[in-house]
Amino acid sequence: MTKIMTCIDGSAYAASVCDHAAWAARRLGAPVEVLHALGRRDTASAPLDLSGSLEFGGRETLLLELAELDRQKAKVGSLRGHHLLGGAAARLRAAGVAEVEEKLRHGDVADTIRDLDGETRLVVIGKRGEAADFADGHLGSNMERVVRASKKPVLVASRAFKPIERFMVAFDGGRSSEQVVARVAASPLLSGWPCLLLMVGTRAGEPAARLREAEQTLMAAGYAVTVSIEEGEADDVIADRVRSDGIDLLVMGAYGHSRIRNLIVGSTTTALIQACAIPVLVIR
């Protein structure tokens, strides 16, 4: 059975990630696997250039001491990882998730997610990890790499969980958006809640026709749908409607044919995820 892969670290987002994963597990009837990845920076010292700075005996002694330091750091990192996993699993069980597994892996979290793709139904990760710069509002690099690497939907958790009662689908008019809508319609994750289907663009042409088809797809699946077409900058318009309409969850594609593409998989900062203080479900 495929699982909800829940990526945690020691950041302030860890509790919210668990709460979002518990919500998804209840909606999907799926087990949860809590993942903590020990990257190289968690266990290894920075390399030093010792050429010409020490006599041979001194260099050898220092290298031995660094090797011992790395061994101790790896041990502490592993113990800390198991502690984080145990706390997350306890929180998930307290939230009513019956099937919870813990997984401690060495290596990059994005590579791990890619390796476990066949076991995964949904990935849950926080907007920022413990290494992110909160003062500057930077998004976590792990989050961006996971969104790029995963072939499965990624639920990017906000700082704190709140009940989800209304969601928005950001429809960019491309064929990939049709696939996003089809995935939403086929899944029980969001069933029963009203949906705002928003496109930033014009009211004519092929994108608008696809928008009408998307509305019909969601209505046939039982959703109460409100359709809106607006002009402007996609990230500004979407963020404004999230706030003004009381949206609890934003759904969007990882790929598209408009500026929305750049917000998720381009080289620029993922501005929309950063701007909206709600969880974002990214679907490929």
| CATH topology identical between 3-41+77-157 and 167-283 | yes
Q: What pLDDT, on a 0 to 100 scale, did the predictor assign at position 273? A: 74
Of the ranges 13-17, 104-108, 144-148, the best mean pLDDT one:
13-17
Of the ranges 60-64, 67-71, 233-237, the best mean pLDDT one:
233-237
Residues forming beta bridges with residue 200, ordered by sequence position: 230
Q: What pLDDT, on a 0 to 100 scale, did the predictor assign at position 147? A: 81
Q: What pLDDT, on a 0 to 100 scale, did the predictor assign at position 23? A: 98
> What CA–CA distance (Å, rounded) separates 280 from 44?
33
Owner of token pair 């302030």 = 12
Band of residue 77 on the pLDDT scale cut at 50, 70, 90: confident
Q: What pLDDT, on a 0 to 100 scale, did the predictor assign at position 78? A: 83
Q: Compare 235 and 28 and report the one with higher pLDDT.
A: 28
Query: Is the confidence at residue 40, as pLDDT, over 70?
Result: no
Q: Token pair of 160, please?
A: 């704190």
Band of residue 268 on the pLDDT scale cut at 50, 70, 90: very low
Query: Is the confidence at residue 102, as pLDDT, over 50?
Result: yes
Query: Is the confidence at residue 129, as pLDDT, over 70?
Result: no
Q: Compare 121 and 71 and report the one with higher pLDDT.
A: 121
Q: What distances in angstroms separate CA 262 from CA 20, 59, 74, 258, 267, one per listed residue?
A: 26, 48, 37, 8, 7
Those residues with Cβ within 8 angstroms of residue 157's Cβ, 6 or more apart along the chain or in another chain: 13, 16, 17, 19, 20, 124, 125, 126, 127, 279
Of 143-147, 166-170, 239-243, 261-265, least confident by mean pLDDT is: 261-265
Question: Whole-prediction pTM value?
Answer: 0.83
Q: What pLDDT, on a 0 to 100 scale, did the predictor assign at position 49? A: 52
Quick one: CATH architecture of 3-41+77-157?
Answer: 3-Layer(aba) Sandwich (3.40)
Average pLDDT across the chain, whole number:
83
What does the pLDDT average to over 173-192?
91
Q: What pLDDT, on a 0 to 100 scale, did the predictor assign at position 58? A: 67
> What CA–CA distance (Å, rounded) separates 86 from 71?
23
Band of residue 185 on the pLDDT scale cut at 50, 70, 90: very high
Band of residue 52 on the pLDDT scale cut at 50, 70, 90: low
According to CATH, the superfamily of the domain at 167-283 is: HUPs (3.40.50.620)
Query: Is the confidence at residue 266, as pLDDT, over 50?
Result: no
Q: Any idea where the domains of the chain sit in the sequence?
A: 3-41+77-157, 167-283
Q: Compare 159 and 262 and report the one with higher pLDDT.
A: 159
Of the ranges 28-42, 91-105, 173-187, 196-210, the best mean pLDDT one:
91-105
Band of residue 197 on the pLDDT scale cut at 50, 70, 90: very high
